C-alpha cells in the first residue's frame, strides 16, 4: 500500500486546486523559507484528523482556509484529499484505491469522506489504525515529533511503540469494551435502584390489588343485588298503584250514597227541633219557679245541718276532755316519782367521780418524778455519744495518716534509687551528644548551599507553571459543567424514551395493543398512532388541552372504520381489553359556525382549541372532531362571559384547566400534581435532544481549547517537575540534617540543667524520707493512746444506756395505769350527765300536763252554754222547711208531665242526629280514605320514579335496560346479603380501585427489569472475557514486537552513528501500562541520560528509532519535515544513505534544505511564491 497523490484546494497558501503525484521511492519538497512547503505536512496532518489548530501553526481551525491576498479574495472553504493504492489489501476493503478527504467551511463545519462517501473522523482513524498513519503514529515526523519522542515522559512515549507494534486498534477496542462494561455496570446499578424501588411497591400493591379484587367482586355482587332490588321495588310499587286505583273508584260510589242518606235525616231533625223549642219555653218557666222553691228548701236544710253538726261537735269535745283529764293526772304522778329517783343516782355518781380524781392526782405525781430522772440520764448518754464519735474520728484520722506516711516513705526510697541510676547514665549521654553536634554542623552548611541553588531554579519553573494551570482549571471546570449537563439531559432523555416506548401512563388495553401490534404488521400498518403521540401542542396550551381531552388522549387514530373493526377483532381475539378509535375518514368533523366565530374577538379569548394543535393533515379530522367546538380562554371570568354571549353553544376551557360544557355545566378546581403528562412527553424529548446537541458542540469546542491548554501546561509542568523533584530531595536531606542538629543542640544545652536538677531531686528526696520516718514513729504512740481512751468511753456509754432503759420501763407502766383511771373518770362523768338530762326532761313533762288540765276545764264550761242555744234554733228551722217542701211537691208534678213530652221529642232528634252523625262519620272516613288513597298513589309513583332514578344514577340503566339483569329475588335473604356486603365494604375502608392495574404494570415492569438485569450481567461477563482476551493478545504482541523494535533500534543506531550502543528498556510494572526508557551511548561516550545528548545526537537517535519502527511495521507513507536540520554534514550523509536504503521498500516525502538529502530524491517538488501569499508547485523528475 502506498500514497499515489495529494490534492489540495484552498488549504492555507494553496489557493488554487493543486495535485502532487507521489511516486515510489523518495519525493523531495524544497523551497525558500516562507514559501509554504511545510503546509504540505500540515495538509497531511489535517486530512488525517488533526484537531489542534496549534499543531497546524494557527490560532483557530479557520486559519487553514486560504485567507486572501491584496489581489485575491479569501475562500469560503478548503479541502484536502489523499489517494492511496490498496492493491495489496493492507487495509481490509473492497476497493483497490482508497480516497480520504476532509472539507471545512469558514463557518466551522467540517466534513470527512472515504471514497466520496460521508463518514466520521472516527471511521478515518479506525481505517488507518496500526498502519503508522495518524496522530499517535510515525508517518509524519518533524522537529516537534522528535522532541515529543525524546523529551516526553516514559509512559507517554509508549503510544508510538504501540502503534508500531500494531496493537493500537486492540487497545482502542479494549478501551471501548471497558467503556461499554462501565456503562453496563452503571445500567445494572440504575436497574438495581429501580428494581429496589419497584420491589418496595410490589408487596403493598399486591395487598391493595387483593383488596381491590375483593372490593370489585363485592361491588359487582352488590350492583346485581341492588339492580334486582330496585326492579323488585319498582314492580311492587306498580302493583300497589293499580290496586289503589280500584279502591279510589269504590270509595267515590260509597261517598255518593251516604250523602243522600245524610240529607234525609237532617230534614227530620229540623222538624222535631221546632216542636221541642215551644215545649222548652214552657218547661223553662216551670223550672224557674221550682228552682226558687228548691233553693229555699236547700238553704233551710243547710242551716239545720250546720246546727246539728255543731251540736254533735260540742258533745264529742266534752267526752274527749273527760277522758284526757284522767290521763293528765296519772302522768303528773309518775313524773314526780321519777324525778326523785334520778336525784339519788346523780349524788352516787358525784361521789365515784371525786374518788377517781384523787387516784389520778397520785399517779401523775409518780410519773413526774420518774420522768425527771430519765431526762437527766438521756442528757448524760448524749454527751457520752458525742465524746465516743469524736474519739472514733480522731482514731481513724490517725490511722489514715499513718498509712499515708508509710506509703510515702516506700515511694521516696524507690525514687532515691532511680535518681542515682539516672544521674549516672546522663553523664555518659552528655559526652556522646557533644561529639554529634560538631559532625552535624559541618553537614548542615554543605546542604544549605546546595538547597539555595536548587530553590532558585524551582521558582523560575513554578512561575511558568502557574499561568498554564490557571487557564487549564478554568477550561476544565467549563468542560465538566457542560459534560454534567449532557449526562443529565441524556439520562432524562433515556428515561423519557423508555417511558414513551413502554407507553407508561396509558391504559393497559392501549399498552397491550401497541406491544402485540409489533408482532402483527398487518395490524400495525392500520394504526396511525395514539392521539397524544401524533399531535404537537404548544407548552402554554398543554394544561387546557390535556384536561379537556382527558382519556381521549389515549384514543387510537386509524384511517377507515374498517381498520377500527379489524383492530377490535384483534383485541377481542387476544383478550387485550377495550380501546376507543378515531377513524379519520368516518368522523363527522365539527367546527364553530360563522356567527359563533365572531365571539373569538371577545376579550380573554385565546383561540379555538383545534387551531392551537399542530399535526399531520391525515390526523386533522380527529383533532377537529374532538376540539373543533372548544374555545380556549384566559380565565373563568372570560369563560363565563363567552358562554353567556354564545348561549352555551360550545365548550370553553381556561388556561388553568377549568371548563364549561354546553348547557352551562361548570367543572373546575385544583389539579393534582401529576408526573409528566402525555402531551408534554414529546415536547420534553425534543427539547432534551436539542439541548444535548447544543451542549455536545459546546463540549467539543471547550475540549479543543482545553487540549491546547493542557499541552502548554504539560510542557511547563515538565520543566517545573524536574526542578521540583531535585529540590524536594535536597530539601528533605537538608531538613533531616537540620532537625538532627537542632535536636542535638537542644539536648546538649539542657544537660547542665538536667544534672543539677537530678542532684537537687536526690537530696530533697532523702531529706523528706527522714522526716516521714520520724512522723510515723510519733503517730504510732498517739494511735495507741487514742485507742485506749475510745474503749473507756464505750464502756461508760453502755452503763448509762442500761440505767435509762430501766427508768423508761417504770414510766411506761405508771402511764398505762393513769390512762385507765382517766378513762374510768370520763365514763362516770358521761353517766352523770345522762341522769341530769333525764331528770330535767321528767320535770318539764309534769309541768306541761298541769297546764293542759286547767285549759280543758275552762273549755267544758263554754261548750255547755252554746249547747242550749243550738236546741232553740233547730226547732224554728224545721217549721219553715215543712212549708217549702209542700210547694215543691206540687210544682214537681206539673214539671214531670212536660219533661216526658220533651224527652220524647229529644229521643226522636237524638235518634235522627245519631244516624246523621254515623252517616257523616262514614262520609268523613270515605273522604279521609280517598285522600289516603291519593297520597298513597303519589307516594308509590314517587317511589317508582326514585327507583328509576337510582338505577340511572347508580348504574346508568333505564328500567328497560335493567331488565336484562333481572333474576329471582328472595327479598329477606337478599336484603340480608346486601347489608352484609355493605358492611364488608365499610370495613374495608378506602380502597384503591387502580391497584390491580398498578400492580400488573409494576409487576410486569419489575419482571422485565429482572430479565434486563440478567441480560446486562451476561453482557458484562461477555465484555470482561473480550477485555481479558484482548489484553492477553496485546501483551503477547507488544512483547514480541517490542523485542524486534529494540533489536532494530540497536542495529540502526550503530549504523547511523558508526558504532556506539543503544537500547529500549521497559520500566517495572504492568507491560501494558509501563513507560519506555531510551538508552543511547554514542561512540566514545559513557552511558548517560538521553537528555544530556547534543541536539544533533538527539535527532539522529530519534531518526534511528523511527527507522527501526518502519522496518518492523512499515507505514504506507512517511513524511520527514526537516528532521535533518540539526544534523552536521557527516550525519546528514549517513542519514541520507540509510534513507535511500529504506526507500527501496518504503515511500518517503522529505521536506528539506540539505543538499545530501535532496541528492537522494527520486522526484523533487519546488515550492515558490511567485505571487505574494500564494504557493506554486514545480515538479522535477530526477
Residue 18's region, left for phi above 0, alpha for psi from -120 to 50, else beta, is beta
The Cα angle at residue 667 between residues 663 and 670, in degrees rounded to 5: 170
**Residue 33 in marked binding region:** yes
* CB neighbours of residue 1056 within 10 Å: 22
- Burial classification of residue 1155, based on how many CB atoms lie within 10 Å of its CB (0-12 exposed, 13-18 middle, 19 or more buried): exposed
Q: Residue ranges of the alpha helices (H) in 502-537?
A: 508-517, 521-524, 531-534
- Cα radius of gyration (the chain): 67
The arrangement of strands across the sheet holding 659-660 comes to 605-608, 630-633, 651-654, 659-660, 666-667
Residues ≥6 apart with Cβ < 8 Å to 1090: 150, 1078, 1079, 1080, 1098, 1101
CB 133 within 8 A of CB 1116: yes
* CB neighbours of residue 638 within 10 Å: 20
**Residue 36 in marked binding region:** yes
The helix-helix angle for 1095-1112 and 1129-1142 (nearest 10°) equals 10
| Interatomic CA distance for residues 469 and 743, integer angstroms | 40
Handedness of CA 1036, 1037, 1042, 1047 (dihedral sign): positive
* CB neighbours of residue 593 within 10 Å: 11
CB 290 within 8 A of CB 892: yes
DSSP string, 588-599: ------HHHHGG
DSSP 617: T
892-895: long-range contacts, CB 8 A cutoff, minimum separation 24: 892/290, 894/286, 895/283, 895/286, 895/287, 895/290
CB 720 within 8 A of CB 67: no
Distances (CA, A) of 74 to 41, 67, 104, 251, 1173: 22, 4, 14, 118, 11
DSSP 68: -
The arrangement of strands across the sheet holding 556-558 comes to 527-530, 556-558, 581-583
| Interatomic CA distance for residues 793 and 797, integer angstroms | 6
Number of H helices, E strands in the chain: 21, 24
CB 954 within 8 A of CB 224: no
Residues ≥6 apart with Cβ < 8 Å to 714: none
DSSP 238: H
Do the bridges between strand 581-583 and strand 556-558 make them parallel or antiparallel, or are there none, so unpaired? Answer: parallel
Which H or E run contains 495?
helix 168-501
| Interatomic CA distance for residues 518 and 511, integer angstroms | 11
Which H or E run contains 581?
strand 581-583
Residues ≥6 apart with Cβ < 8 Å to 687: none
**Residue 37 in marked binding region:** yes
**Residue 77: strand pairing partners:** 105
| Interatomic CA distance for residues 647 and 644, integer angstroms | 5
- Burial classification of residue 345, based on how many CB atoms lie within 10 Å of its CB (0-12 exposed, 13-18 middle, 19 or more buried): middle
**Residue 32 in marked binding region:** yes
| Interatomic CA distance for residues 299 and 765, integer angstroms | 146
CB 3 within 8 A of CB 48: no
Residues annotated within a binding site: 32-39
Residues annotated within a binding site for ATP: 32-39
Amino acid at each position: 500500500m502506498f500514497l499515489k497523490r495529494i490534492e489540495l484546494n484552498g488549504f492555507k497558501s494553496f489557493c488554487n486546486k493543486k495535485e502532487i503525484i507521489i511516486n515510489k521511492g523518495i519525493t523531495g519538497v524544497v523551497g525558500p523559507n516562507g514559501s509554504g512547503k511545510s503546509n504540505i505536512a500540515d495538509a497531511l496532518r489535517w486530512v488525517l484528523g488533526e484537531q489542534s489548530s496549534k499543531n497546524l501553526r494557527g490560532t483557530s481551525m479557520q486559519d487553514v482556509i486560504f485567507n486572501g491576498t491584496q489581489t485575491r479574495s479569501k475562500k469560503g472553504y478548503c479541502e484536502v484529499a489523499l489517494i492511496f493504492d490498496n492493491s495489496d489489501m493492507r487495509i481490509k476493503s473492497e476497493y483497490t484505491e482508497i480516497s480520504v478527504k476532509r472539507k471545512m467551511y469558514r463557518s466551522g463545519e467540517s466534513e470527512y469522506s472515504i471514497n466520496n462517501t460521508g463518514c466520521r473522523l472516527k471511521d478515518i482513524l479506525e481505517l488507518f489504525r496500526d498502519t503508522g498513519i495518524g496522530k499517535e503514529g510515525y508517518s509524519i515526523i518533524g522537529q516537534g515529533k522528535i522532541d515529543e519522542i525524546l523529551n516526553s515522559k516514559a509512559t507517554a512515549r509508549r503510544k508510538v511503540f504501540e502503534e508500531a507494534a500494531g496493537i493500537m486498534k486492540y487497545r482502542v477496542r479494549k478501551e471501548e469494551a471497558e467503556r461499554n462494561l462501565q456503562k453496563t455496570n452503571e445500567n445494572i446499578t440504575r436497574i438495581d435502584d429501580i428494581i429496589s424501588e419497584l420491589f418496595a411497591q410490589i408487596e403493598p400493591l399486591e395487598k391493595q390489588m387483593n383488596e381491590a379484587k375483593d372490593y370489585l367482586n363485592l361491588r359487582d355482587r352488590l350492583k346485581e343485588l341492588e339492580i334486582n332490588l330496585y326492579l323488585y321495588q319498582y314492580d311492587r310499587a306498580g302493583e300497589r298503584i293499580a290496586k289503589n286505583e280500584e279502591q279510589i273508584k269504590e270509595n267515590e260510589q260509597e261517598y255518593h250514597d251516604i250523602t243522600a242518606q245524610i240529607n234525609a235525616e237532617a230534614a227530620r231533625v229540623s222538624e222535631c227541633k221546632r216542636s221541642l223549642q215551644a215545649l222548652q219555653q214552657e218547661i223553662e218557666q216551670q223550672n224557674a219557679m221550682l228552682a226558687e222553691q228548691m233553693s229555699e228548701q236547700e238553704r233551710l236544710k243547710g242551716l239545720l245541718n250546720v246546727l246539728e253538726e255543731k251540736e254533735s261537735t260540742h258533745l264529742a269535745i266534752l267526752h274527749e276532755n273527760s277522758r284526757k283529764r284522767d290521763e293528765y293526772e296519772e302522768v303528773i304522778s309518775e313524773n314526780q316519782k321519777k324525778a326523785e329517783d334520778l336525784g339519788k343516782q346523780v349524788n352516787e355518781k358525784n361521789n365515784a367521780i371525786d374518788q377517781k380524781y384523787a387516784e389520778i392526782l397520785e399517779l401523775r405525781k409518780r410519773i413526774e418524778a420518774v420522768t425527771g430522772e430519765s431526762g437527766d440520764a438521756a442528757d448524760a448518754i448524749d454527751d457520752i455519744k458525742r465524746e465516743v464519735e469524736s474519739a472514733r474520728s480522731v482514731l481513724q484520722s490517725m490511722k489514715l495518716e499513718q498509712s499515708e506516711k508509710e506509703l510515702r516513705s516506700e515511694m521516696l526510697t524507690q525514687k532515691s534509687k532511680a535518681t542515682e541510676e539516672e544521674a549516672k547514665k546522663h553523664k555518659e549521654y552528655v559526652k556522646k551528644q557533644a561529639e554529634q553536634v560538631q559532625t552535624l554542623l559541618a553537614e548542615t552548611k554543605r546542604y544549605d548551599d546546595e538547597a539555595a541553588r536548587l530553590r532558585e531554579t524551582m521558582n523560575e519553573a513554578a512561575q511558568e507553571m502557574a499561568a498554564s494551570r490557571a487557564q487549564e482549571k478554568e477550561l476544565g471546570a467549563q468542560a465538566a459543567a457542560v459534560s454534567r449537563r449532557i449526562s443529565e439531559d441524556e439520562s432524562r432523555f433515556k428515561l423519557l424514551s423508555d417511558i414513551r416506548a413502554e407507553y407508561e401512563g396509558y391504559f393497559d388495553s392501549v399498552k397491550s395493543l401497541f406491544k402485540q401490534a409489533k408482532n402483527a404488521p398487518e395490524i400495525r400498518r392500520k394504526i396511525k398512532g395514539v392521539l397524544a403521540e401524533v399531535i404537537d401542542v404548544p407548552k402554554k396550551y398543554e394544561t387546557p388541552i390535556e384536561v379537556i381531552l382527558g382519556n381521549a388522549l389515549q384514543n387510537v387514530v386509524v384511517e377507515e372504520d374498517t381498520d377500527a373493526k379489524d383492530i377490535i377483532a384483534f383485541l377481542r381475539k387476544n383478550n387485550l381489553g377495550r380501546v376507543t378509535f378515531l377513524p379519520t375518514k368516518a368522523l363527522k368533523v365539527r367546527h364553530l359556525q360563522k356567527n359563533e366565530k365572531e365571539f373569538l374577538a371577545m376579550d380573554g379569548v385565546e383561540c379555538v382549541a383545534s387551531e392551537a394543535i399542530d399535526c399531520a393533515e391525515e390526523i386533522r379530522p380527529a383533532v377537529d372532531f374532538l376540539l373543533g367546538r372548544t374555545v380556549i380562554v384566559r380565565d373563568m371570568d372570560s369563560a363565563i362571559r363567552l358562554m353567556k354571549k354564545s348561549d352555551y353553544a360550545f365548550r370553553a376551557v381556561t388556561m388553568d384547566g377549568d371548563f364549561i360544557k354546553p348547557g352551562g355545566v361548570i367543572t373546575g378546581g385544583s389539579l393534582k400534581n401529576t408526573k409528566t403528562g402525555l402531551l408534554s412527553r414529546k415536547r420534553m424529548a425534543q427539547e432534551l435532544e436539542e439541548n444535548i446537541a447544543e451542549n455536545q458542540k459546546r463540549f467539543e469546542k471547550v475540549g479543543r481549547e482545553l487540549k491546547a491548554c493542557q499541552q502548554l501546561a504539560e510542557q511547563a509542568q515538565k520543566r517545573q517537575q524536574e526542578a521540583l523533584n531535585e529540590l524536594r530531595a535536597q530539601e528533605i536531606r537538608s531538613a533531616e540534617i537540620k532537625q538532627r542538629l537542632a535536636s542535638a543542640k537542644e539536648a546538649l544545652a539542657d544537660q547542665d540543667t538536667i544534672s543539677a536538677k537530678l542532684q537537687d531531686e536526690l537530696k530533697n528526696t532523702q531529706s523528706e524520707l527522714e522526716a516521714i520516718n520520724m512522723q510515723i514513729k510519733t503517730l504510732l504512740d498517739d494511735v495507741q493512746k487514742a485507742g485506749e481512751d475510745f474503749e473507756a468511753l464505750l464502756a461508760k456509754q453502755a452503763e448509762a444506756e442500761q440505767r435509762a432503759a430501766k427508768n423508761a420501763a417504770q414510766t411506761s407502766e405508771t402511764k398505762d395505769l393513769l390512762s385507765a383511771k382517766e378513762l374510768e373518770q370520763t365514763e362516770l362523768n358521761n353517766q352523770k350527765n345522762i341522769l341530769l338530762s333525764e331528770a330535767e326532761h321528767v320535770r318539764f313533762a309534769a309541768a306541761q300536763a298541769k297546764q293542759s288540765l286547767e285549759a280543758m276545764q275552762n273549755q267544758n264550761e263554754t261548750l255547755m252554754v252554746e249547747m242550749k242555744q243550738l236546741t232553740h234554733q233547730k226547732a224554728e228551722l224545721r217549721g219553715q222547711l215543712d212549708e217549702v217542701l209542700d210547694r215543691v211537691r206540687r210544682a214537681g208534678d206539673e214539671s214531670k208531665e212536660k219533661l216526658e213530652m220533651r224527652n220524647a221529642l229529644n229521643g226522636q232528634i237524638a235518634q235522627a242526629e245519631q244516624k246523621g252523625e254515623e252517616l257523616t262519620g262514614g262520609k268523613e272516613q270515605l273522604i279521609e280514605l280517598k285522600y289516603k288513597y291519593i297520597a298513597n298513589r303519589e307516594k308509590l309513583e314517587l317511589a317508582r320514579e326514585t327507583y328509576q332514578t337510582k338505577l340511572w344514577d347508580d348504574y346508568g340503566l333505564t328500567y328497560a335496560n335493567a331488565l336484562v339483569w333481572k333474576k329471582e329475588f328472595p327479598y329477606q335473604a337478599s336484603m340480608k346479603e346486601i347489608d352484609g356486603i355493605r358492611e364488608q365494604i365499610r370495613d374495608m375502608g378506602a380502597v384503591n380501585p387502580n391497584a390491580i392495574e398498578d400492580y400488573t404494570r409494576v409487576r410486569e415492569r419489575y419482571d422485565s427489569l429482572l430479565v434486563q438485569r440478567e441480560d446486562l450481567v451476561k453482557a458484562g461477563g461477555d465484555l470482561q472475557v473480550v477485555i481479558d482476551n484482548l489484553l492477553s493478545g496485546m501483551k503477547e504482541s507488544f512483547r514480541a514486537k517490542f523485542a524486534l523494535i529494540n533489536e532494530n533500534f540497536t542495529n540502526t543506531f550503530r549504523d547511523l552513528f558508526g558504532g556506539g550502543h543503544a537500547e529500549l528498556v521497559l520500566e517495572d510494572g504492568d507491560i501494558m501500562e509501563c513507560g519506555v526508557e531510551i538508552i543511547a551511548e554514542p561512540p566514545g561516550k559513557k552511558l548517560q541520560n538521553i537528555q544530556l545528548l547534543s541536539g544533533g545526537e538527539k535527532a539522529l537517535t530519534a531518526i534511528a528509532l523511527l527507522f527501526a519502527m518502519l522496518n518492523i511495521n512499515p507505514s504506507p507513507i512517511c513524511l520527514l519535515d526537516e528532521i535533518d536540520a540539526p544534523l552536521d554534514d557527516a550525519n546528514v550523509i549517513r542519514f541520507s544513505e540509510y534513507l535511500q536504503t529504506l526507500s527501496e521498500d518504503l515511500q518517503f516525502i522529505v521536506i528539506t534544505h540539505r543538499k545530501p538529502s535532496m541528492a537522494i530524491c527520486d522526484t523533487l517538488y519546488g515550492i515558490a511564491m511567485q505571487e505574494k501569499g500564494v504557493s506554486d508547485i514545480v515538479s522535477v523528475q530526477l
